Amino acid sequence: MEKNVKSSGTNNTNEKSFLNGQINWYPGHMTKAKRMMQENIKLIDIVVEILDARTPMSSKNPDIDELAKNKYRLVLLNKTDLADPAVTKKWAEYYRDKGFYVEEINARSGAGMKNIDDLIRAACKEKIERDRKRGIINRPIRAMIVGIPNVGKSTFINSYAKKACTKVGNKPGVTKGKQWIKLGKNVELLDTPGILWPKFEDRNVGMRLAFIGSINDDILSITDLCLEFMKFLKTNYCNTIAERYNIQEKDDVVSVLYDVADKLQCIKKGGEPDVDKAAAIVITDFRSGKLGRISLEKPEE
């Protein structure tokens, strides 16, 4: 892949790279994951969908609405510690308006996690009521976690299960080999999350997913990715780079990246600035929250 800074920007190379990535991204895993989800979805009552709070639209796979039709739904906006709180509020409203139960969480710290049990029960209240009328009391609600790579599915499951983690083995009527994690208030969680393939016919969607690390970094050179990210910051969160790395704000992002390389003493053997290294640091800083709380998209866009 072309890694020359000079080739960056909105040229055709980038468009092509994204298209290639879309076609070649481990189709084997993808098919297997989708099959697993289709098989398991029959067994469950509620689909708990995890989205990245920084990109709650781009990190939502549209296939899930078809796969999960007739299921109760809970949308979790995860990694809220990394996202702009005011924007996250708007996203929560946006999905509530669409009829989903929604919670803002930080699966890593546990913030927002205490409501999950009650929300799942609220979302499934029809089923609980139906069961009750038939004299069935305390039949567990069965949930499956779904989401695109890296949104925090495993972290969520671990955090949720921490309180009352009892693995129950094969149960009658349940396909062999499935593990259910028994949780408080009669909720059982399938311990294998459904991995969804992110969709990005839209270049901006692919870009945002690359920023957050949900698609392979090598779909685009890290330097090109960083320059795109810096352009986004310039428009939406200006001065972020200048403040973080203590450099002058400039219009030309390539020049800014050189300044970052200089400031961070990213230098190649021959003494040339190592912009690739600087770019990787900027992206890592964003992903770990060191650039502040940044949302990549807003519902009104």
Ligand X SMILES: Nc1nc2c(ncn2[C@@H]2O[C@H](COP(=O)(O)OP(=O)(O)OP(=O)(O)O)[C@@H](O)[C@H]2O)c(=O)[nH]1
Binding site for ligand X (CB under 6 A): 78-79, 81-82, 106-108, 147, 149-155, 195, 289
11 binds Mg ion (CB under 5 A): no
Residue 263 beta carbon to Mg ion: minimum distance, rounded to whole angstroms:
35
Q: Which is nearer to Mg ion, 31 or 154 (CB)?
A: 154
29 binds Mg ion (CB under 5 A): no
Biggest alpha carbon–alpha carbon distance for the chain: 78
24 binds Mg ion (CB under 5 A): no
* Polymer length of the chain: 301
Residue 193 beta carbon to ligand X: minimum distance, rounded to whole angstroms:
6
Q: Which is nearer to ligand X, 103 or 188 (CB)?
A: 103
DSSP-derived pairing of the beta strands 187-190 and 180-183: antiparallel
Q: Which is nearer to Mg ion, 29 or 89 (CB)?
A: 29
Q: Which is nearer to ligand X, 209 or 253 (CB)?
A: 209
Phi, psi of 172 (to 5 degrees): -55, 140
> Which position's Cβ is nearest ligand X?
152
- Look at residue 54 and give the partner it binds from ligand X, Mg ion, none, a contact being a CB closer than 5 to 8 Å depending on partner kind: none
Q: How far apart are CA 133 and CA 230, in angstroms?
A: 58
Q: How far apart are CA 168 and CA 183, in angstroms?
A: 10
- Look at residue 59 and give the partner it binds from Mg ion, ligand X, none, a contact being a CB closer than 5 to 8 Å depending on partner kind: none
Phi, psi of 113 (to 5 degrees): -75, -25
Q: How far apart are CA 32 and CA 23, in angstroms?
A: 16
154 binds Mg ion (CB under 5 A): yes
265 binds Mg ion (CB under 5 A): no
- Look at residue 147 and give the partner it binds from ligand X, Mg ion, none, a contact being a CB closer than 5 to 8 Å depending on partner kind: ligand X
- Look at residue 27 and give the partner it binds from Mg ion, ligand X, none, a contact being a CB closer than 5 to 8 Å depending on partner kind: none
* Cα torsion through 38, 42, 43, 49, rounded to 10: 60
Residue by residue, DSSP assigns 237-288 as: STTHHHHHHT----S-HHHHHHHHHHHTT-B-TTS-B-HHHHHHHHHHHHHT
Q: Which is nearer to ligand X, 180 or 258 (CB)?
A: 180
Binding stretches for Mg ion (CB under 5 A): 153-154
